[in-house]
Amino acid sequence: MAGDATWLTSPGTNSFDDAGNWSTGLVPTGIATFGASNTTTVAVDTPTTLGELLFAAGAPFYTLNVTANLTLNGGGIVNSSVNTAIVNVTDGATLTTTSTNGKVNVALNGGGLRFGKDD
């Protein structure tokens, strides 16, 4: 069963992979929700597979710096906030997703973007 979790309002680090930064005490594998927080630049630096990245209504500007492969197998990237989310994909990393809405800026700094599933 996929585990959903919410990024804490005061996480101890900026690492996505630090279980202590999440509401459940576990790194999410289902829906990773980002809401109000004092840490809005998040490092995704180990290969990660999720169902969805969700930026909740009222979430501030977030920047995710992806330096390892990030795969989203469910709803993709959903931004319900009025603020734009930025996903930076750096050299050597790939973002694989089913979809993204118009309030998400995906910057490919030498990285790659794939839509859909690999067969």
Q: What is the mean pLDDT of each run of 10 residues along the chain (119 residues)?
A: 89 97 97 97 95 94 93 89 89 82 73 60
Instruction: Kindly report, residue by residue over 7-40, the tens digit of the pLDDT.
Output: 999 999 999 999 999 999 999 999 999 999 999 9
pTM equals 0.88
Q: What is the DSSP string of the chain?
A: ----EEB-SS-SSSBTT-GGGBTTSS--SSEEEE-S-S--EEEE-S-EEEEEEEE-TT---EEEEE-S-EEEEEEEEEE-SSSPEEEEEETT-EEEES-B-TTEEEEEEB-EEEES---
